[in-house]
Amino acid sequence: MKTKKGDIWVSAILYFGLGIIIITILLTAGLPVINKLRDKNIAVQTKNSFQILDANIREVIRGGPGTQRVITLELKRGDFSVDNINSNVKWEFNSKAFLTEPVDECDITTDTGTWVAEGNVKVCTEKSSTKGSYVIKLNLDYNTVAKIDAPVSKISGVGDILVRNNGVDSNTDEIKIGISQI
C-alpha cells in the first residue's frame, strides 16, 4: 500500500497558489474602484467644506467691520488657494473620478469650461493629460461682493482659517475680507 503524504503536500501547495492568484485578481480589479470612490468622497467632502466656508464668509460680510469667524477646513488632498487679484477661493484635485462632465479646459477667470453651480460653489471637471485622470476644480467667486485679501495664497491639510471683515476700502468702496491660516 502506498502512502499519500506527497499528494497532500502537492494539493496544499496548489490550493495555496490558487488562493494567491484569486486574491491578486480581486485586488487588481477592486483597487481602482476603491481609489475612484475615495477620490470622489474627498471631492464631495471638500465641496461641503466649501459650502460651509462660503456661508461663513457671507456672514462675515453681512456682519460689518470687525466681524470674524474661525473655520476648520479639512482638506485631505488637493491644492487650496486664494486668488487675491480676482477675489476667488479655489481648490484643485487630481483624481481618477469626476464630479461633473469632463471638459478640455476649466478656467473661471476667462469663463472657459462648463461650471456647474451648487449654491455659490462652482464645480468643473477638466480632462488631464493622463488618460483616465481628471482635475476637479471648485471655486468661490467674491469679485462682485468683496475684495479678498489673503497673505498666504496656498493652504493645505487640516487646519483653522480666520475670516475677518476688515471694513471698506476708502479708495474703491469695496468690502475687504481677510483670510489667514491660524
pLDDT in tens, the chain (182 residues): 566 667 888 888 999 999 999 999 988 888 888 888 898 888 888 899 889 989 998 998 888 888 888 988 888 888 888 888 888 889 898 888 887 888 888 887 777 778 888 888 998 888 888 888 899 999 999 888 888 888 766 677 777 888 888 888 776 667 887 777 77
Tell me the one-letter amino acid at 162.
Answer: L
C-alpha–C-alpha distance, residues 113 and 126, integer Å? 8
**C-alpha cell read off for 60:** 462675515
Q: In angstroms, how far is CA 130 from the centroid of its own chain?
A: 19
Q: For residue 38, how many other CB atoms are within 10 A of its CB?
A: 15
Per domain, the residue ranges of the chain are 5-181
Residue 85: CB partners within 8 Å, gap ≥ 6?
Answer: none
